[in-house]
Structure 1
Amino acid sequence: MRVIIDNDFSGDPDDHFQLVHHLLSPSVTVPFVIGSHLSVDDFLDGSSTQASNAVRIAAHIVDLLGMSDQVPLVRGSEVGLTSLEEPIHSSAARAIVSEAMREDTDLPLYIAAGAGLTEIASALLIEPRIAERTTLVWIGGAEHSGTTMLPPGGGGIEYNLNIDPIAAQVVFNHFPIPIWQIPRDVYRQCIVSQAELDARVRPMGPVGAFLANSIDELVKGQYLREGLNLGETYVLGDSPLVLLTALQSAFQPDSSSSVYTEIPTPSLSQTGEYGDASGEARLMRLYHSVDVRLMFDDFYLKLAAFARGTSQGRLVEV
């Protein structure tokens, strides 16, 4: 399959893990990686160059993997949409359109989005036909009514949705693109312990050290300076992007070990609330649980193989 990766690499370091995992997965062709923006004045990167910073960090990760000449990096917009009708003609949005409209390949195309939806929304507004030529796998959105309880302190708009609520409205409300949604209650299941990171990530060469240190710098640095003690766990909430694409079953290909239902795609409000689906709403996948055993064991083993120099697929020798 082809997987376009779109993430805010200057924010939460869970996306660093997702990028490494995707690039170490030989069943996936990555046409390009998009570095996208965060919310305005985000506490992890409050600058006006968030997308540029994301590309810089992604470039460092790609370089650590020895793939600088194999994985194109594209900068997304530095700001979110201001209109439901007007796209932002960023390099990333144009690249999505170009890849989706290709006629020289039959490989299915997924957009793996671990942040806001600015680029895919703009791409849809630029060329609506791409809605029928790709599938969006999105980490974001709050819990759906009747599926689970809100987490403690979980009121208000969900983090990724808040990056660009207008873009999310464009995607959910105005185009028939297939959506596989991993909402907050599900991505919170993707939790690892500090002991795991110390034993199975940190010792795995420069890549493992970078990944572990990226969490240390946040948890033991910025958060502690602000008086927040996160304990001994961390949520790697973007990792389902790999599980639901690269790790599909061989026969009747699907994310067969993760649980989802198909529901009429709800409408989204500006404040992130789900509304009733229209009478002709297309179905979307709503995931209720993900196979964390397969997802994290696969990641740890691929990372160890890379550190040993025995990885498969596109990787260069180390």
Structure 2
Amino acid sequence: MTARMRVIVDNDFSGDPDDLFQLAHHVLSPSVEIPFVIGSHLKFGDFFDPSETQAENAAAIARDLLTRLGSDITVLTGSNTALPAPSTPVASTEAADAIIAEAMREDTDLPLYIVLGAGMTELASAWLKEPRIGSRLTAIWIGGPEHEGIGTPLPVAGMVEYNLAIDIPSVQVVFNESDIPVWQVPRNAYRQALVSWAEIDHRLRPTGALGSFLADSLDRVRGYVEAAGRSMGETYCLGDSPLVLLTALQTAFEPGPASSDSVVIPTPIMNDEGWYEDNPDGRPLRVFTALDNRLMFEDMFHKFAAFDHAPRRESADRRDAE
């Protein structure tokens, strides 16, 4: 199958393992060409990785998964810190520079997406350094709170949405200053991306090495939570998987994420407290409100099973040698 788009993957792989599902699913989707993957930082002091080398850890985890998938996609390391201010990029990173280089390519007509399952540090830094990239890519972001009148708010007063809290200044750059087209999957939408533990146990774990590895990554989280005296119930949120749904699983004709519902609103101002302020003159922002979980997860489970059941190349080589 010929690739239909380029997709830069930027995620905090040393955190919640939903990003491992997203990366594996993207890599196994033949309509997507992935120029490189970025390992980015978490919110400082995160439960999963409280270290000061989160980006390096994220990159190492991504490389390990890609090795398991037999992929040679390049993994770049992002910044370990957020932007110091909305007007100031982080110190130069190979990741931000690579975004600029990919966006400015003249040798391909494939549309370019950057999919972000955490903060926007590298994208904001890249735009601050080279604003011309704004018209040459589309950003798809898992993050941000509910918009007023769109979706049911999470009933926790004053709680800044997690991915936004990673780097509020970077989101202020992209929302308030840049001309980057943004498709947003806010908290009320990505919380719909639920799978049950029964599905994990019966549709993922038995498939083979990849399925077991990914299922085990969720088991570790369940173990941490239960050791703290809490129950996770019967579901887990694979909240980064919409990044695959909205890119690789677009429609055949007039490509687009037609099976998921969205609205277009003026991009609001993101304030310092991590909330929106009305901006009637803001450029269009596409906000997803309902996700096609059937398509997203059925495709994921089938691709993972197909990978685990496929004969490995080394086995074929060994048979040829014999």
Q: Does 1:204 find its partner at 2:207?
A: yes
| Alignment map for 1:221-260 (pairs within 5 Å) | 221-260=223-262
CA deviations on 1:160-199 (whole Å, 9 max, x unpaired) are 0000001000010000100000000000000000000011
Report the equivalent of 2:319: none
Report the equivalent of 1:65: 69
Identity, in percent, stands at 55
Q: Does 1:168 find its partner at 2:162?
A: no
Match of 2:93 among 79, 90, 94: 90
Match of 1:29 among 9, 30, 33: 33
CA distance in 2 between counterparts of 1:145 and 1:245 reads 26
| Secondary structure at the counterpart of residue 32 of structure 2 | coil
CA distance in 2 between counterparts of 1:278 and 1:84 reads 21
- After superposition, the Cα gap between the structure-2 partners of 1:40 and 1:25, relative to the gap in structure 1 and judged at 3 Å, is same
Choose 1 or 2 for highest CA Rg: 2
Report the equivalent of 1:105: 108
Aligned residue-pair number: 310
Report the equivalent of 1:127: 130
In the TM superposition, what is the alpha-carbon distance from 1:108 to its structure 2 partner? 0.2
CA distance in 1 between counterparts of 2:199 and 2:139 reads 30
| Alignment map for 1:251-270 (pairs within 5 Å) | 251-270=253-272
Letter in 1 for 2:160: I
What is the RMSD computed on CA atoms of the aligned residues?
Answer: 1.3
CA distance in 2 between counterparts of 1:317 and 1:277 reads 57
Segments of 5+ residues of structure 1 without an aligned counterpart are none
Give TM-score, length-normalised by structure 2: 0.94
| Alignment map for 1:140-219 (pairs within 5 Å) | 140-153=143-156, 155-219=158-222
Report the equivalent of 2:283: 282
8 A contact 2:151–2:289 mirrored in 1: no
In the TM superposition, what is the alpha-carbon distance from 1:155 to its structure 2 partner? 4.0
Report the equivalent of 1:49: 53
Segments of 5+ residues of structure 2 without an aligned counterpart are 316-322
- After superposition, the Cα gap between the structure-2 partners of 1:197 and 1:266, relative to the gap in structure 1 and judged at 3 Å, is same
8 A contact 1:52–1:75 mirrored in 2: yes
Letter in 2 for 1:35: G
